[in-house]
Amino acid sequence: MDWTLTTNAPGKIVLMQGNEAIVRGAVESGIHFAASYPGSPSSQILGMLGKIAKERNFYAQWATNEIAAFQACLGTSFAGARSICIVKQNGLLCIADALFCAAQHGIKGGVVVVTSDDPSAHSSTNEFDSRHMALSASIPMLEPTNMQEAKDMVPYAFEISERTKQVVIIRLTTRVCHGRGSVALGQIPETQRKLDVVDEWDRMVCVSFRHQVMLDTLEAARELFEESPYNHYSGPEHPEKLIVAGGTGCLYTKEALHLLGDPADVGLLELGTVWPLPEKLLLDKLRTAKEVLAVEEVDPFLEDELLRLAGREGLDLKIWGRNEGTINRVGELDPDHVLPAVSAFTGLPMPPRQKTSDVPLLTRDLNFCAGCPHRATFFVLKQAMRREKVPGIVVGDIGCYYMAGSEAGQYGWQVNNCMGSGINVAEGLGQLSAYGMDQPVVTMCGDSTFFHTVLPGLCNASYHNSNMLLIVLDNSATAMTGFQPHPGTGLTAMGDEVKPMSIRAICEAMNCTVEEADPFEIEETTALLNDMLHRPGLKVLIMKQPCATLMAKSRKEKVTVWVDQDKCLGDNCGCDRFCSRVWGCPGNSWDFKAGKAVIDPVSCVGCGVCAKLCPQGAIQVKKEARA
Amino acid sequence: MKKLMYDPLNIVICGIGGQGNVLAAELVASAMNDLEYRVAEGETYGAAQRGGSVMSHVRVSADTDLGVLIPAGEAHFIIGFEPLETLRIARRYANPGTRIIYDPRPVYPQSVLRGRTVYPDLEDLKAEIDSLCKEAIQVPAADIALECGDSRAANIALIGAFSCLEGAPLDTKALEEVVAQRFKGAVLALNQKVFALGCEAAKEAVR
């Protein structure tokens, strides 16, 4: 849908994903520069910006990590450029130091950081509330309630950023990023603003005396937010019951009020300016209110700020929300949590619903995709570890292979901190071999993670000769977030071909012992692993096998895998249904009627590894040229 | 703009990661946007892509901005890619007026294949789904797509079937146009064939 991103058709209404709306907003802002490291749920934004960058004459980069992305934006800002940096919640934490310093030195050209929080951690390992970062870094923050606002807030954020000379953050949540809604397009400027000539005496420096300037800037932003078009109030002029909502909470609350019969005595204040809060606007309603309900994503941020305001102003208010307990403290907001909360708050009865069975239904555990090389890697790793006299310790990391900690990866690792942590956690463990710990230590990282944060850790581990093995799961992709290029791929966000960096050469330059293996060659690779575990010092094993989803897209020949049920011995085999029970690929199913194995033709991608593993040779593979 | 039977009109599309559920929702939402309704759509994916339960919500109104998630019990249509997932969604979102269209082909959860649990009896699943709604129609979408040469087109068979359902907010033409915009060449031809067969199957099932 590239045309919706770049066509100058003001007023036209199109269906847009929240992530697309941010892209369109950036184009309507006339940005010069965009940089990001992929992180769900906002990973699509830079991918789309990269595709249209040449047409719209700006620069877009998949940076090696978030710090590189954000600090590059500070650099371009110094020359007056408008720059946008896109991160997810964890990426925002990665750039904390840079952000806090930027807040103190200020900026020249507008800098907007778009961050995506992931309530319920749909595609994350944890929930986090970015609003705490805005508060602690003294940086203005906005939060859209729908796709239209997601688009419109980008130019508004640049305006605030340039008026206050401060970075501005836009907080998105998963439902905004991945949701779609009708958006009226705005005007795209013909050309970007001219860049500044940097003067000999221009400065952008973090020094302690700027602390007061930073605080004054925050107050200037507060004044602008008192008049912001993104704060709306509806209801009686002096409400006794007031709901204060932010982000997705606004539309859920409106619908809840509607389903409860549109009570005329309840006020609703929708806040698009998250930080600093427009205190005058709030106090105008709080002074007459007796009870307030805060509806917000993740933490009771508004609720706590309301308590603080009420305390400071000596207001006698009962405050309801996530901390008080009316709304779920953990997990995302949805209509089914907001409706009962609004019902309890207003005293209006819940609409009736049909009774349904409460017999629990089977749930579905996550699994590696059919044909995924990680399944083979973790099978091999488990096999190798079981051949050791003493059990080894396996330290995980963040990527698709996070799932290896569950049944999908043979419960393959035992420790997992955050992205890029595996090498450092293992480094520490590896040093204990000189102090009586006699267990092999293994960790892993993906190819994109290798460049993102593993490099300094590897440098440290190699220099200090930690006794450990790093497995690089090289599937030629940042697969978890949608196949973005990284320095090992030879591609850039704008589609240019560049010289790729060799992970092997980098490891060798860091004095590591390096081997390469194919995880689909189960026997050979298991033997190599066992051998490497007994070599002293730091070892790196690069597992090379492309992501199955990429392979399925690019494969030239048609591969059919099926089970010869005359050869399959079913439960008489003694393999304990190895293919479906142990190997566990979605392509390996069980024919409950025949009591034999079967391939699910819908799931199977034709990697053929299960055919090598079947003890009866019952799984057959046929390759033919595509029609 | 045709007056909607309900405003907002709520559609849930449910299945398992990788079945093309998100694309199906996007096609339905695009078609409704092209007819100048206000549309909101919510998708659950990410980690759920890898074999987990996935659902998309499509919401349509003449003039109101809606949240991207449907409140419990408020679905007017449910499109299911798998019977267990259809029941899961029907329990939460169906009401006595809901119409359901679903593929009866089971996809076993890992716990079933690994031998720890047993997949529910298909007749029991059907009976419970039937009891929760006005009408539930089975369409063998995955089989249709496989017969046409690509199992990935099952989602198109289901939206084809949906377009031919009585009271569907979209006619076949509007959805066909969106399919034609989205795909090209051989993939388009395949999808058009699968779409038509899905529609036929729905009509057949009602008869």
For A335-340, what is the mean pLDDT? 97
In a domain, A495, yes or no: yes
The yes-or-no verdict on residue B46 having pLDDT over 70 is no
Cβ within 8 Å, pair B40-A407: no
Smallest CA–CA distance from A119 into chain B, residue:
B44
Cβ within 8 Å, pair A590-B108: yes
Q: Are A13 and A186 in contact (CB under 8 A)?
A: no
For B76-83, what is the mean pLDDT? 97
Say which residue the tokens 């699910």 belong to. A600
In a domain, A117, yes or no: yes
C-alpha distance from B60 to closest chain A C-alpha (Å): 10
Smallest CA–CA distance from B73 into chain A, residue:
A353
Range of weakest confidence among A37-51, A125-139, A277-291, A471-485: A471-485
The yes-or-no verdict on residue A369 having pLDDT over 60 is yes
Q: What is the dihedral of CA A399, A403, A405, A407, to 10 degrees?
A: -160
Smallest CA–CA distance from A549 into chain B, residue:
B18
| Closest partner CB to A367 (pick from B50, B66, B132) | B50
- H-assigned helices in A510-576: 522-533, 548-554
Before A352, cis peptide (omega within 30)?
no
For B168-177, what is the mean pLDDT? 84
Here the CATH number for the domain that contains residue A601 is 3.30.70.20
Return the pLDDT at A103: 98
In a domain, A360, yes or no: no
The Cα A268–Cα A251 span in angstroms is 11
Cβ within 8 Å, pair A248-B67: yes
Q: What are phi and psi of A416, to 5 degrees?
A: -150, 120
Smallest CA–CA distance from A595 into chain B, residue:
B113
The Cα A284–Cα A288 span in angstroms is 8
Q: Centre a 10 Å sphere on the Cβ of residue A567 and count the other Cβ atoms it contains.
A: 15
Domain co-membership, A524 together with A575: no
Question: Is B67 exposed, middle or buried, given 0-12, 13-18 or 19+ CB atoms closer than 10 A?
Answer: buried
C-alpha distance from B204 to closest chain A C-alpha (Å): 24
In a domain, A364, yes or no: no
Say which residue the tokens 């200090």 belong to. A464
Cβ within 8 Å, pair A15-B30: yes
Smallest CA–CA distance from B86 into chain A, residue:
A361
The Cα A200–Cα A620 span in angstroms is 72
Cβ within 8 Å, pair B110-A590: no
Smallest CA–CA distance from A183 into chain B, residue:
B38
The yes-or-no verdict on residue A175 having pLDDT over 90 is yes
C-alpha distance from B84 to closest chain A C-alpha (Å): 8
**Whole-number Cα distances in Å, A590 to A366, A610, B67:** 18, 14, 41
End-to-end CA distance of chain B: 30
The Cα A4–Cα A520 span in angstroms is 43
C-alpha distance from A348 to closest chain B C-alpha (Å): 17
The yes-or-no verdict on residue A332 having pLDDT over 60 is yes
Return the pLDDT at A627: 57
Smallest CA–CA distance from A250 into chain B, residue:
B67
Relative orientation angle of helices A211-226 and A147-164, to the nearest 10 degrees: 140
Per CB-CB distance under 8 Å, the chain B contacts of A354 are 73, 94-96, 132
Q: Centre a 10 Å sphere on the Cβ of residue A389 and count the other Cβ atoms it contains.
A: 7
Per CB-CB distance under 8 Å, the chain A contacts of B114 are 407, 580-581, 584
Pick the CATH number of B9-205 from 3.40.920.10, 3.30.360.10, 3.30.43.10, 3.30.420.40: 3.40.920.10
In a domain, A353, yes or no: no
Q: 0.90 exceeded by the pTM?
A: yes
Domain co-membership, A417 together with A335: no
Here the CATH number for the domain that contains residue A321 is 3.40.50.920
Return the pLDDT at B48: 47
Here the CATH number for the domain that contains residue A468 is 3.40.50.970
The yes-or-no verdict on residue A143 having pLDDT over 80 is yes
Domain co-membership, A566 together with A505: no
C-alpha distance from B73 to closest chain A C-alpha (Å): 6
Dmax (CA) for chain B in angstroms is: 52
Question: Is A190 exposed, middle or buried, given 0-12, 13-18 or 19+ CB atoms closer than 10 A?
Answer: exposed
Domain co-membership, A106 together with A129: yes
C-alpha distance from B114 to closest chain A C-alpha (Å): 4
Return the pLDDT at B52: 84
In a domain, A356, yes or no: no
Strand A538-544 and strand A468-474: the pairing is parallel
Per CB-CB distance under 8 Å, the chain A contacts of B50 are 366-369, 400, 403, 408
Q: Centre a 10 Å sphere on the Cβ of residue A509 and count the other Cβ atoms it contains.
A: 11
Domain co-membership, A560 together with A604: yes
| DSSP letter for each residue of A588-627 | EEEETTTTEEEE-TTT-----HHHHH-TT--EEEEEEE--
Residues ≥6 apart with Cβ < 8 Å to A524: A517, A518
Relative orientation angle of helices A455-463 and A422-431, to the nearest 10 degrees: 10
Smallest CA–CA distance from B40 into chain A, residue:
A181
Its ipTM equals 0.94
Smallest CA–CA distance from B59 into chain A, residue:
A181
Question: Is A102 exposed, middle or buried, given 0-12, 13-18 or 19+ CB atoms closer than 10 A?
Answer: buried
Domain co-membership, A474 together with A441: yes
Contacts across the A-B interface (CB distance below 8 Å): 166
Residue A267 sits in which domain range? 232-346
C-alpha distance from B155 to closest chain A C-alpha (Å): 12
Residues ≥6 apart with Cβ < 8 Å to B119: A362, B84, B106, B108, B109, B112
Q: Binning pLDDT at 50, 70 and 90, where does residue A400 land?
A: confident
Q: Binning pLDDT at 50, 70 and 90, where does residue A480 land?
A: low
The Cα B162–Cα A592 span in angstroms is 31
Cβ within 8 Å, pair B110-A589: no
Cβ within 8 Å, pair A251-B65: yes
Per CB-CB distance under 8 Å, the chain A contacts of B112 are 362
C-alpha distance from A566 to closest chain B C-alpha (Å): 21
Smallest CA–CA distance from A118 into chain B, residue:
B46
Cβ within 8 Å, pair B84-A361: yes
Strand (E) positions, A185-341?
231-234, 241-246, 266-271, 273-275, 291-295, 318-320
The Cα A220–Cα A17 span in angstroms is 32
Before B120, cis peptide (omega within 30)?
no
By three-state DSSP, how is residue A290 classified?
Answer: coil
Question: Is B203 exposed, middle or buried, given 0-12, 13-18 or 19+ CB atoms closer than 10 A?
Answer: middle
| Closest partner CB to A178 (pick from B45, B110, B132) | B45
Domain co-membership, A285 together with A328: yes
Per CB-CB distance under 8 Å, the chain A contacts of B30 are 15
C-alpha distance from A385 to closest chain B C-alpha (Å): 22
Q: What is the pLDDT of residues B108-165, one digit of tens each?
A: 999 999 989 999 999 999 999 999 999 999 999 999 999 998 888 999 999 999 999 8
Domain co-membership, A279 together with A380: no
Q: Are A610 and A587 in contact (CB under 8 A)?
A: yes
- Does an H or E element contain B29, and which? helix B21-34
The yes-or-no verdict on residue A278 having pLDDT over 80 is yes
Q: How many domains does chain A have?
A: 4
| Closest partner CB to A182 (pick from B38, B49, B115) | B38
Domain co-membership, A403 together with A278: no
Q: What share of chain B is helix, strand, coil (3-state, %, to 5)?
A: 45, 15, 35
Return the pLDDT at A225: 98
Cβ within 8 Å, pair B48-A255: no
Return the pLDDT at B173: 85
- Does an H or E element contain A87, and which? strand A83-88
Cβ within 8 Å, pair B52-A353: no
Domain co-membership, A575 together with A544: no
The yes-or-no verdict on residue B47 having pLDDT over 60 is no
Selected residue of B6, B16, B43 to mutate for chain A interface (largest A Cβ count, 10 A):
B43
Range of weakest confidence among A94-103, A195-204, A483-492, B121-130: A483-492
Q: Are B191 and B156 in contact (CB under 8 A)?
A: yes
Domain co-membership, A126 together with A210: yes
C-alpha distance from A362 to closest chain B C-alpha (Å): 8
In a domain, A352, yes or no: no
Domain boundaries, chain B: 9-205
Cβ within 8 Å, pair A365-B111: yes
Selected residue of B58, B68, B133, B151 to mutate for chain A interface (largest A Cβ count, 10 A):
B68
Sheet with strand B135-138: strands edge to edge = A13-17, A180-184, B38-43, B53-61, B9-16, B77-80, B99-102, B135-138
Cβ within 8 Å, pair A339-B71: yes
Q: Is A244 left (phi over 0), alpha (psi -120 to 50) or beta?
A: beta
Q: Binning pLDDT at 50, 70 and 90, where does residue A556 land?
A: confident
Of A204, A34, A48, A186, the residue nearest A111 (C-alpha) = A34
| Closest partner CB to B39 (pick from A175, A180, A600) | A180
